[in-house]
């Protein structure tokens, strides 16, 4: 039960070759067999395929680093001279976590063994220890998560320090056989995937058509061979029946001769000679029929080889035509690549000019924004100054009107005072008179 927590299922299973059906053929294969179409490309062209292969290569590289961590943990002297102390400290922490997990698993196995030995004891004690075992299992999950996080941290450190990763990969001889087998399976998977990504839809269609043609031709040849074999088997069966019938007749004649022997020895001798003559004649006739059948078989076989030769010539012509078409397609692809390269260069030049003009536009926009802000500030200041000036003019007008009014009042007051003084002077003159 405890081992089920840390067990890992096999990641790759090789195909069982014993289950592949093998079909035997009676006909001889020609010396120059028809070959399957080969791949026309050797490099990946699409960005998606390159990304897929990059992800798989990165995975293989990381697996190679991770599978060397147990060996480095057991042999710390293998990393002497490693630059920096972060990797060594991370490896020691990872080894401590792994050792803690192994100790916990050992304790859990010991507890399970005790439970198995004590199944016939008190049921309450057994249930209590069973719940303790379950709690112990649950406590292993955080520790396993810490080990995963520690492994990711070590990989990040090794990826940031290529010299340390190169020093770690030099210890490839310390990798376990299971890990090496897993890496080889990953590399084999990479080869399969690379070949699959290199295969274009046209090549897949051509390969399927090629297999169908070969299967159809093989089926047609097999039908011819089966018909010939059935004919031969029927003829051989007829010959055996005739021979058996003749043997039966001979046996009957022998019996009859044996019975007639009592009557006449001369008659028996004569009958025996006739039977032997008949048997020889039948044997010669049978040999003639067998020779005829063999001659027919040779004729059909020569016809078969002639058909194979004709099909091979037509196939060679079709191959030449296909090669010519593929050459033309490759030339067009190269021409397209050259033109697209020129267009790409022109586009990059225009893009560079556009970027420079865009930068100039951004600079002008920033200057315009600054000028707009300054203009708004100046206009606001002008509005404030205009308001102040209008208020000053309004106040000046008010003061001028007030001064004018005061002056008018003062003048009126002076005129009234003068008139009042003149009236007083006149009143005094009259009194004197």
pLDDT tens track for 410-420: 988 888 888 88
Higher pLDDT residue, 253 or 390? 390
What total number of domains does the chain contain?
2
Higher pLDDT residue, 102 or 74? 102
Higher pLDDT residue, 428 or 72? 72
User: Could you tell me if 222 and 194 lie in one domain?
Assistant: no
Q: Is 117 exposed, middle or buried (0-12, 13-18, 19+ CB in 10 A)?
A: exposed
Token pair listed for 116:
């198995």
User: Could you tell me if 141 and 233 lie in one domain?
Assistant: no
Across the range 11-16, mean pLDDT stands at: 32
**Helical residues (DSSP H) of 161-264, grouped into ranges:** 162-169, 177-198, 201-260
Residue 110 has pLDDT above 80, yes or no: no
Higher pLDDT residue, 174 or 334? 334
DSSP 35: P
Residue 7 has pLDDT above 70, yes or no: no
CA distance 338 to 25: 52
CA distance 353 to 341: 18
**118 located within any domain:** yes
Across the range 266-277, mean pLDDT stands at: 77
**425 located within any domain:** no
Q: Is the pTM of this model over 0.85?
A: no
User: Could you tell me if 223 and 102 lie in one domain?
Assistant: no
Distances in Å between the Cα of 183 and the Cα atoms of 66, 75, 147, 163 are 11, 22, 21, 22
Higher pLDDT residue, 116 or 391? 391
Across the range 241-249, mean pLDDT stands at: 88
User: Could you tell me if 289 and 251 lie in one domain?
Assistant: yes
Model confidence at 105, in pLDDT bands (50, 70, 90)?
confident
3-state SS assignment for residue 212: helix
Residue 264 has pLDDT above 60, yes or no: yes
Query: What pLDDT, on the 0 to 100 scale, is given for residue 17?
Result: 30
Mean pLDDT over each residue of the chain, to the nearest integer: 77
User: Could you tell me if 218 and 193 lie in one domain?
Assistant: no
Please name which of 372, 370, 369, 390 lies closest in space to residue 380, comparing C-alpha atoms.
372
Q: Which residue among 174, 200, 226 closes a domain?
A: 200
DSSP 427: H
Q: Which residue has the tokens 């079709």?
A: 318
User: Could you tell me if 51 and 175 lie in one domain?
Assistant: yes
Across the range 375-401, mean pLDDT stands at: 90
Query: Domain range holding 180?
Result: 43-200
Q: Which residue has the tokens 């897949």?
A: 204
**268 located within any domain:** yes
Q: Which residue among 200, 227, 251 closes a domain?
A: 200
């Amino acid at each position: 039960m405890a081992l089920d927590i840390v067990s890992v299922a096999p990641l790759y299973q090789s195909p069982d070759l014993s289950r592949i059906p093998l079909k035997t053929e009676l006909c001889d294969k020609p010396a120059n067999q028809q070959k399957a179409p080969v791949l026309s490309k050797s490099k990946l062209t699409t960005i998606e395929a390159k990304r897929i292969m990059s992800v798989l290569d990165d995975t293989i590289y990381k697996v190679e680093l991770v599978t060397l961590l147990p060996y480095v943990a057991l042999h710390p002297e293998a990393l002497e001279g490693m630059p920096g102390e972060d990797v060594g400290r991370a490896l020691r922490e990872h080894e401590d976590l792994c050792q803690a997990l192994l100790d916990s698993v050992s304790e859990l196995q010991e507890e399970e063994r005790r439970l198995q030995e004590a199944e016939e004891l008190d049921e309450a004690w057994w249930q209590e220890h069973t719940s303790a075992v379950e709690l112990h299992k649950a406590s292993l999950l955080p520790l396993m998560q810490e080990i995963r996080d520690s492994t990711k941290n070590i990989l990040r450190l090794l990826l940031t320090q290529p010299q340390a990763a190169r020093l770690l990969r030099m210890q490839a001889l310390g990798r376990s056989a299971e890990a090496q087998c897993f890496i080889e399976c990953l590399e084999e998977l990479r080869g399969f995937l690379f070949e699959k990504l290199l295969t274009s839809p046209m090549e897949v269609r051509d390969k399927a058509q090629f297999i169908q043609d070969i299967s159809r031709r093989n089926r047609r040849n097999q039908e011819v061979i089966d018909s010939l074999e059935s004919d031969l088997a029927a003829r051989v069966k007829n010959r055996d029946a005739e021979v058996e019938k003749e043997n039966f007749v001979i046996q009957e004649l022998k019996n009859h001769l044996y019975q007639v022997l009592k009557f006449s020895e001369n008659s028996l001798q004569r009958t025996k000679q006739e039977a032997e003559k008949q048997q020889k004649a039948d044997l010669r006739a049978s040999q003639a029929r067998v020779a005829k059948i063999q001659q027919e078989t040779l004729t059909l076989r020569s016809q078969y080889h002639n058909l194979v030769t004709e099909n091979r010539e037509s196939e060679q012509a079709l191959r030449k035509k296909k090669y010519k078409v593929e050459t033309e397609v490759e030339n067009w692809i190269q021409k397209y690549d050259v033109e697209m390269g020129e267009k790409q260069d022109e586009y990059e030049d225009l893009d560079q000019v556009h970027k420079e003009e865009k930068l100039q536009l951004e600079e002008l926009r920033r200057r315009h924004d600054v000028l707009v802000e300054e203009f708004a500030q100046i206009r606001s200041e002008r509005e404030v100054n205009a308001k102040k000036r209008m208020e000053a003019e309004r106040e000046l007008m008010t003061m001028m009107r007030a001064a004018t009014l005061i002056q008018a009042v003062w003048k009126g007051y002076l005129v009234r005072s003068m008139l009042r003084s003149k009236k007083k002077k006149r009143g005094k003159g009259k009194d004197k008179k």
